[in-house]
Amino acid sequence: MTRALSLISVFVRVSVQNFAAYRFEFFVRMFVSVGHLLAELLAVQTIFKNTPEIRGWQKEHMLVLVGVFRMIAGGIRMVIVPNMRRVMEDIRNGTLDYVLLKPLDAQFHVSIREFVIWRVTDLVLGGSLAIYGSYLTLHTVPFDKFILFILMMVAAFTIVYAIWLALAAICFWLIRLENIEMLFWNVFEAGRFPVQIYPAWLQTGLTYIFPLAFIVTFPAASLLGISGKGITPTMPAIAFLVGLIAIILASMLFRIGLRRYAGASA
């Protein structure tokens, strides 16, 4: 465990150094990030000019959701996308060989190699907005809800990581599949809104097939208190269970893919 953490810290340190070399880019990106967030807030503002609530979600609630969506999207782009993109390229170019030559678990290794440091801005901006929305709703941010929220976010990232790992693993079979990432982003866009606004069949799909509810809606709801937003006291346990199942399946797929890469499956 200590070794894993020290390795992650080395990769983070290298990414920070690399990022420090592009300071100007950082400011431009931060500017773009803020711009994106403002546009999203404007959309919320426009919607709630016409209606006080949508399926139990009021304007303040939506601020939390927009914040959580931004945090998750930022986190994905900070840690998951750069690493999974690189492993897909490695599979295509044959450079995965160098990963397999290292005395390190391959899945762990390919998941920690790159960090896009400036995406921290998305986590900070999104987090601040979510906390602010929660404060507007409850006039305080209760400690227990905050802890619950953190747990739900951990489960959310676990699920997202599992989805991406599975997408990357598919490249072991379909080597020339270039745009597989879009598959994720197109569905993920639906997470800008709470799952409750969708028809029942789609809600079920977005909860148990592509568990977007566990990725955005439920973490947001947990910060708002558990009544009426589809969240029950057992929800964190269910979220962790979903995360656990997802990660086990994705790891299995990745391992089978690796065996195929090494020609051991034949």
Residues that bind other proteins (CB under 8 A): 3, 6-7, 10-11, 14, 17-18, 93-95, 97-98, 100-104, 109, 259, 262-264, 266
DSSP 8-state symbol, 53: E
**Which of 11, 48 has the CB closer to other proteins?**
11
CB of 170 to other proteins, least distance (A): 18
CA distance 50 to 74: 30
Nearer to other proteins, 39 or 101 (CB): 101
CB-wise, 51 or 93, nearer to other proteins? 93
C-alpha triplet 119, 60, 64: angle, nearest 5°: 30
Least CB distance to other proteins at residue 77 (A)? 17
**Closest separation between CB of residue 9 and other proteins, Å?**
9
Q: Which residue has the tokens 């929800």?
A: 235
Residue 248 and residue 257: Cα distance in Å, rounded? 14
Answer whether 144's CB lies under 8 Å from 225's CB: no
Q: Which is nearer to other proteins, 96 or 242 (CB)?
A: 96
- Quick one: tokens of 116? 């896009």
Q: In Å, what is the CA distance from 154 to each residue of 58, 72, 110, 149, 239?
A: 25, 10, 20, 9, 9
Nearest distance in Å: CB 238, other proteins: 37
Q: Least Å distance between CB 262 and other proteins?
A: 5
As a whole number of angstroms, the distance between CA 192 and CA 199 comes to 16
Q: Shortest Cβ distance from residue 258 to other proteins (Å)? A: 10
- Cβ distance to other proteins smaller for residue 103 or 199: 103
- The nearest distance, CB 79 to other proteins, in angstroms, is 16
User: Residue 28 or 43: which CB sits closer to other proteins?
Assistant: 28
Residue 233 exposure: Cα atoms within 13 Å on the Cβ side: 1
Question: How far apart (Å, rounded) are the C-alpha atoms in residues 248 and 266?
Answer: 23
137-165 burial, b at 16+ Cβ within 10 Å, e below that, comes to: beeebeeebeebbebbbebbbbbbbbbbb
Residue 109 vs 119, nearer CB to other proteins: 109
